[in-house]
């Protein structure tokens, strides 16, 4: 019993060479005569060819459409004789009428014989009946159209009751040298045409030609079936085609300004929006301005950017990443270019936000037009920023020693010798004043009760600085960018004894502080994602700013007990 499987394999191996030697391909077509609305079945049988793979259907593409392809295989052993075959079945729909040849096809390493199929045309009556049952209408407008302007392509498929559309509707056309944008989903409706009811599928596309000349939109087709009279109740397959369209594309007109970017549209407008909606311009307080350009009949990427140039003496401006959008509807595309800015007034007084303008081509009325955003007069309120303190630098001689400046020849010399640039009587007066102040302080000190010495005239000021420091530390721990920015300006303004606006101006003079301010502004007002602002880094920077400022102040004030310079 164990030898039987081995014997069977040996028998199959012995018979296989003879079976392969008998391998051949036969072909048949059924029925041999059809009309142009029908299909015929092609059967290719490969005998003794193993899997019968490698079927090449490319020779059929010129005259036929191939549908419903299937494959079957079988192996039989009868009386020691093995028979095997593979069958390929294909439904062929003719593209033409007349006698069509089915050329030899290569399958399983062999070639099929040549076959012929008789395809009879429909009668004029049947053709007219089909044309009334299902048909396409195609429209492209305007014609002609300007280069890079919008043209609308509309395809409508009408089908009568009893017609079944079983293939997908044509997709967006592939048009050379043009951008094609689908305008929504396919619309379905029921309509009446010439007194007859139809179902309707409508497709709409926006076309933007990229070159002048002739724009060719290729044909499209859809497969369906219909029941025709006089055919025994049988349904006949129908393939209806949407005709090709040629559209004339005109170049840029000569009257359009050569120095302006080309923009063709039905309408263009420039709008602005503010946050808050009714802005009050205060020195040091940021505002958000959004400038939006809408182009009806073109895409957002076709709109050139607008850059407002604000008066640098009154404003600082921080742009955010711009946004491009395309709003689509059945009537076409509306392109949108949106640019936002963070604006900070830096000086009080009256100023003007300049007007903005954009040149464009009116594709409806065929003329040059200009969209405008009018100028906006504004008045900024608040305190002007305090000037940054400067440290006088002594003049250096060539040897590197300080040089005392002397008045030019001919001017009167100060009377008496000067100590440190001051006359002796000024030093004596300062010494007497200091001795009197010290005596008064010592007397009052002895008369105060215990603990009263801890209070001073600047206790309220120190408490204010302490509160501002605590508020800044809390905002930095929470890493709330808005709270960090406000607390930072408030603390520096308190320490520097100035307004937040003046503190903002002094921050602009320090590279590290200016970079930190830009990061806070970007995190607050930009649309795009930005890295978080490290609160500890802000505290370290603030400590450095305060210490540097204290060093500068110490350098500016004269030392009370410094020895008088020698002459």
Map residue 252 onto helix, strand or coil. Answer: coil
CATH number at residue 278: 2.60.40
User: Does residue 373 sit in the same domain as residue 271?
Assistant: yes
User: Does residue 149 sit in the same domain as residue 190?
Assistant: yes
pLDDT value, residue 354: 95
- 216 occurs within a structural domain: yes
User: Does residue 216 sit in the same domain as residue 274?
Assistant: no
User: Which residues fall within 8 angstroms of residue 275, CB to CB, at 6 or more apart?
Assistant: 287, 288, 290
User: Does residue 472 sit in the same domain as residue 494?
Assistant: yes
Handedness of CA 223, 224, 228, 232 (dihedral sign): positive
Q: Are 533 and 484 in contact (CB under 8 A)?
A: yes
User: Does residue 227 sit in the same domain as residue 287?
Assistant: no
User: Does residue 131 sit in the same domain as residue 235?
Assistant: yes
**What's the structural domain count of the chain?**
4
User: Does residue 77 sit in the same domain as residue 168?
Assistant: no
Q: Which residues pair with 295 in a beta bridge?
A: 268, 335
User: Does residue 276 sit in the same domain as residue 229?
Assistant: no
User: Does residue 147 sit in the same domain as residue 233?
Assistant: yes
Helices within 451-497 (DSSP H only): 459-478, 481-495
Helix (H) or strand (E) holding 501: helix 500-508
pLDDT value, residue 490: 86
User: Does residue 162 sit in the same domain as residue 194?
Assistant: yes
Q: Which of 356, 380, 404 is the last residue of a domain?
A: 380
- 41 occurs within a structural domain: yes
Q: Is the peptide bond before 345 cis (omega within 30 degrees of 0)?
A: no
H/E/C letters for each residue in 505-529? HHHHCCHHHHHHHHHHHHHHHCCCC
What does pTM read for this prediction?
0.58
- 562 occurs within a structural domain: no
pLDDT value, residue 13: 45
- 319 occurs within a structural domain: yes
Domain housing 367: 264-380
- 430 occurs within a structural domain: no
Q: Mean pLDDT per 10-residue run, the chain (567 residues)? A: 47 44 78 86 80 78 86 78 83 88 86 92 81 90 96 94 80 92 91 92 95 93 70 67 92 95 97 93 94 96 92 92 93 96 94 96 96 96 74 50 46 45 52 55 51 48 80 88 86 82 76 83 64 85 84 55 45
Question: What's the rounded Cα separation, in Å, for the pair 486 and 422?
Answer: 44
- 229 occurs within a structural domain: yes
Closest CA to 209 of 258, 163, 175, 174: 175
Handedness of CA 47, 48, 49, 52 (dihedral sign): positive
User: Does residue 295 sit in the same domain as residue 376?
Assistant: yes
User: Does residue 104 sit in the same domain as residue 166?
Assistant: no
- 171 occurs within a structural domain: yes
């Amino acid at each position: 019993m164990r030898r039987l499987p081995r014997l069977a394999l040996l028998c199959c191996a012995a018979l296989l060479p003879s079976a392969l030697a008998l391998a051949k391909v036969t072909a048949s077509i059924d029925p041999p005569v059809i009309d142009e609305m029908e299909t015929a079945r092609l059967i290719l049988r490969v005998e003794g060819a193993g899997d019968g793979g490698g079927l090449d259907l490319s020779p059929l593409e010129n005259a036929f459409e191939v549908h419903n392809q299937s494959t079957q295989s079988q192996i039989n052993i009868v009386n020691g004789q093995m028979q095997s075959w593979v069958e390929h079945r294909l439904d062929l729909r003719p593209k033409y009428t007349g006698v069509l040849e089915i050329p030899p096809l290569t399958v399983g390493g062999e070639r099929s014989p040549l076959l012929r199929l008789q395809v009879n045309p429909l009668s004029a009556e049947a053709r007219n009946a089909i044309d009334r049952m299902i048909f396409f209408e195609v429209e492209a407008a305007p014609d002609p159209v300007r280069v890079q302007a919008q043209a609308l392509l509309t395809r409508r498929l009408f089908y009568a009751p009893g017609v079944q559309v079983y293939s997908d509707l044509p997709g967006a056309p592939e048009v050379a040298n043009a951008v094609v944008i689908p305008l929504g989903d396919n619309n379905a409706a029921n309509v009446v045409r010439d007194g007859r009811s139809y179902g309707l599928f409508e497709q709409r596309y926006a076309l933007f030609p990229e070159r002048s000349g002739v724009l060719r939109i290729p044909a499209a087709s859809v497969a369906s079936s219909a029941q025709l009279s006089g055919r025994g109740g049988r349904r006949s397959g129908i393939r209806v085609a949407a005709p090709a369209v040629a559209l004339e594309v005109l170049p840029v007109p000569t009257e359009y300004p050569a120095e302006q970017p080309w923009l063709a549209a039905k309408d263009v407008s420039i709008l602005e929006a503010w946050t808050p909606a009714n802005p009050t311009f205060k020195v040091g307080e940021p505002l958000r301005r959004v400038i939006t350009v809408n182009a009806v009949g073109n895409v957002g990427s076709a709109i050139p950017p607008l850059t407002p140039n604000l008066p640098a003496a009154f404003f600082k401006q921080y742009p955010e990443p711009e946004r491009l959008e395309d709003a689509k509807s059945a009537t076409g595309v509306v392109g949108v270019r949106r640019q936002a800015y963070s604006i900070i007034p830096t000086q009080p007084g009256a100023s003007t936000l300049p007007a903005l303008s954009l040149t464009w081509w009116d594709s409806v009325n065929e003329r040059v037009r200009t969209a405008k955003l009018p100028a906006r007069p504004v008045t900024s309120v608040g305190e002007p920023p305090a000037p940054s303190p400067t440290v006088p630098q002594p003049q250096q001689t060539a040897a590197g020693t300080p040089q005392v400046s002397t008045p030019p020849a001919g001017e009167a010399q100060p009377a008496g010798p000067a100590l440190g640039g001051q006359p002796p009587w000024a030093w004596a007066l300062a010494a007497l004043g200091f001795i009197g102040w010290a005596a008064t302080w010592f007397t009052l000190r002895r008369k105060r009760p215990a603990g009263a010495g801890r209070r001073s005239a600047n206790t309220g000021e120190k408490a204010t600085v302490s509160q501002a420091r605590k508020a800044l530390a809390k905002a930095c721990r929470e890493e709330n960018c808005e709270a960090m920015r406000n607390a930072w300006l408030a603390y520096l303004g308190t320490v520097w004894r100035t307004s937040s606006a003046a503190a903002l101006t002094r921050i602009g003079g320090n590279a590290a502080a200016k970079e930190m301010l830009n990061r806070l502004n970007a995190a607050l007002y930009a649309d795009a994602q930005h890295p978080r602002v490290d609160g500890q880094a802000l505290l370290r920077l603030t400590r450095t700013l305060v210490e540097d400022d204290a060093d500068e102040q110490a350098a500016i004030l004269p030392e009370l007990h410094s020895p008088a310079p020698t002459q």
